[in-house]
Amino acid sequence: MTRFLLRRLLAAIPTLFALVTLAFFLVRFAPGGPFDDERALPPEIEERLNARYHLDAPLWQQYLHYLGNLLRGDLGPSFQYRDYSVNELIAAGLPASMLIGSLAMLLALALGIATGSIAALNRHRWQDHLVMSLSMTGISVPNYVMAPLLVLLFAVTLDWLPAGGWNDAAPANLLLPVIVLALPQTAYIARMMRASLAEVLSSDYIRTARAKGLGMRAIILRHAMKPALQPIVSWLGPTAAAVLTGSVVVEQIFGIPGVGRFFVQGALNRDYTLVLGIALFYGALIVAFNLIVDLLYAALDPRVRYR
């Protein structure tokens, strides 16, 4: 187990290295620079700024410089937010992003598994049709449409919830963003859960269990649930990635002080270090999540062993 973990962690290093390298050169291919503005800076000022941020050196030197700082855990200064370093900005955005991200994942899991199971157990009845059509809506309505709709209904018309803002993570402020973030994932999980549970229920060993005279309740909870959850667990990796990218939009709309907003602003402003830092951070998060998924998978399926 320890060896497995260690090996996987070591394997993450080349992945992240490739990510940094790719991202470093990709952001540089985007035309325009961090200090461009309609009100152009005087050339002497631009020179100074380029020198200060090592932008005047050849690209490969800048790359080595960046890697060197990275090894020391320094993601560099932000070009745009001149009073802060990238480390500080990510640290500032981390709690909010993690909070809404993990709440959305939990909600999606709970709701998706529950409704998917209901649909599977009532196949081709109204419960099934309701869950499936709702989940279709959840998948097809993008979050940048869903968010304003919910705001209009719950904040402006009904006045039950705030229209946005963070307010020190007050539950009322968290509700709408978490729901918007969780909806599409809930829908995917519900559909997957339905298919998977239906398949398990029609397999031979379940028939055997029923023939033994076991109650439906016991069959589902003891025999069917565990194998039916396997595809859901393997889906968690992509879900984490989707929640992260979804949070970029949701953070913008609800004014949540997370990392995603910096990602957008950073890209628009050619804030190279900020974009790189966040890309790296996202990458590390997804790698970590896939590792957790693998561990969970092994726990669920006795055929899978750490090797």
Q: Which of 13, 172, 268, 299 binds another protein (CB under 8 A)?
A: 268
**How many residues belong to the site for another protein (CB under 8 A)?**
49
Q: Which of 14, 31, 58, 302 binds another protein (CB under 8 A)?
A: 31
Q: Which of 103, 109, 151, 228 binds another protein (CB under 8 A)?
A: 151
Q: Which of 13, 18, 41, 59 binds another protein (CB under 8 A)?
A: 41
Handedness of CA 20, 23, 29, 33 (dihedral sign): negative
74 contacts another protein (rule: CB under 8 A): no
153 contacts another protein (rule: CB under 8 A): no
Distance of CA 284 to the CA centre of its chain: 12
Element (H, E) at 206: helix 204-211
Binding marks (x or -) toward another protein, 169..198, rule CB under 8 A? ------------------------------
246 contacts another protein (rule: CB under 8 A): no
Q: Which of 5, 13, 22, 30 binds another protein (CB under 8 A)?
A: 30
231 contacts another protein (rule: CB under 8 A): no
235 contacts another protein (rule: CB under 8 A): no
CB contact at 8 A, 274 and 86: yes
What are residue 77's DSSP bridge partners? 85
CA distance 185 to 107: 9
Distance of CA 13 to the CA centre of its chain: 20
Burial class of residue 279 in the structure, from the number of CB atoms within 10 Å of its CB (0-12 exposed, 13-18 middle, 19+ buried): buried
CA distance 252 to 264: 9
Degrees (nearest 5) of the Cα angle 174, 276, 9?
A: 85
- Considering only 16-24, 122-130, 249-257, 288-296, which stretch makes contact with another protein by CB under 8 A? 249-257
Length of the chain counted residue by residue = 307
If DSSP codes are grouped into helix, strand and coil, which group holds residue 83? coil
Directed axis angle between helix 272-300 and helix 225-254, to 10°?
Answer: 160
254 contacts another protein (rule: CB under 8 A): yes
26 contacts another protein (rule: CB under 8 A): no
Using CB under 8 A as the binding rule, the residues of this chain from 270 to 299 that contact another protein are: 270
- Considering only 152-160, 177-185, 276-284, 295-303, which stretch makes contact with another protein by CB under 8 A? 152-160
CB contact at 8 A, 191 and 116: yes
Residue numbers at the binding site for another protein (CB under 8 A): 30-33, 36-45, 48-49, 52, 80-84, 88-89, 92-93, 148, 151-152, 155-156, 159, 162-166, 252-255, 257-258, 261-262, 265, 268-270
